[in-house]
Structure 1
Amino acid sequence: GTWLVWLHGFLGKGDDWLPVVNACDQYASLIIDLPGHGNSVDITVQGGFAEVSELLNATLSERQIDDYWLIGYSLGGRIAMYHAIHG
């Protein structure tokens, strides 16, 4: 089925989405901690939105998720828009 992929805002963490994710429990969800946020590896992203979009692609591919909706706000919303346009 279709997955919901959650992208948090600047200086946030994936857990920020938990109340909303719990309300959407009829869907499979993947909550992403963006690089340098939450429980993610503390890495420096040099390539901006393009690099984060590539990391997102790798994460989705690794989990064999190919049917998904991206949901984001603030920084996460910008990444979702970039990813939708450029993949």
Structure 2
Amino acid sequence: MSEARLPFPLPHALAPLHVRRDGRDGRDGRSDADTAPTLVLLHAICTSGALWTPQLDAWRPAFRLLCVDLPGHGESAPLAGDATLADVADALAATLDAHGESRVTLVGTSWGSMVAQAFALRHPSRTASLVLAHAGSTTSAEGPRSGSVG
């Protein structure tokens, strides 16, 4: 099976993605910050992690929040060469490593949902759960099916 290619170029070197941390991340002095589930918020194409700003007040008390700017969006540089959806998922994994996050819930809308599905397929042990909005069950005719996740 060939790897699904993104319908647009993502030229640039692989670098950690820009992340805005919010919620129960320990900065507020709460001792229970370590036990709060982490939500990784993944935006639609042509937007940024700022898309999630209206939801942050409601989610802040219960979760650690990571608003990610996906490659080529917001403050994140594009990926190098002919990047695939798997490359974006791996860039997200590297970013989560940089933030000390080992297992997360991914919340995605549209393209963010596609990235969440690709992440779950490539990194199932790191995926606690998925919340997908405006998502298809495949990333392309030859891409992986979301039903094959765990």
**TM-score of the superposed pair, with normalisation by structure 2:** 0.54
Question: How much is the aligned-residue C-alpha RMSD, in angstroms?
Answer: 1.4
- 1:43 deviates by 4.0
Q: Which structure is larger by alpha-carbon Rg, 1 or 2?
A: 2
Which residue of structure 2 aligns with residue 17 of structure 1? 52
User: Matches of 1:75 and 1:41 in 2, distance apart?
Assistant: 17
**Aligned positions, number:** 87
Q: Map Cα deviations across residues 33-64 of structure 1 (whole Å, 9 max, x no partner).
A: 01111111244562311100110010011111
2 CA distance for matches of 1:15 and 1:80?
A: 17
The worse-fitting range, judged by mean Cα deviation, of 15-24 and 38-47 is 38-47
Name which of 73, 96, 111 aligns with 1:60.
Answer: 96
Q: Distance in 2 between matches of 1:44 and 1:36?
A: 10
| Secondary structure of the corresponding residue to residue 39 of structure 1 | coil
Does 2:88 correspond to 1:48? no
Q: What 5-or-longer segments of structure 2 have no aligned partner?
A: 1-34, 124-150
For the structure 1 residues 45 and 9, does the alpha-carbon distance in structure 2 shift closer, same or farther, using more than 3 Å as the test? Answer: farther
Task: Answer whether contact 1:7 1:14 (CA < 8 A) is retained.
Answer: yes
Retained in 2: the 8 A contact 1:36–1:44? no
TM-score by length of structure 1 reads 0.90
Name whichever structure is richer in helix by fraction: 1
Letter in structure 2 aligned against 1:66: S
* SS of match in other structure, 1:72: strand
Identity, in percent, stands at: 32
- Which residue number in structure 2 is paired with residue 81 of structure 1? 117
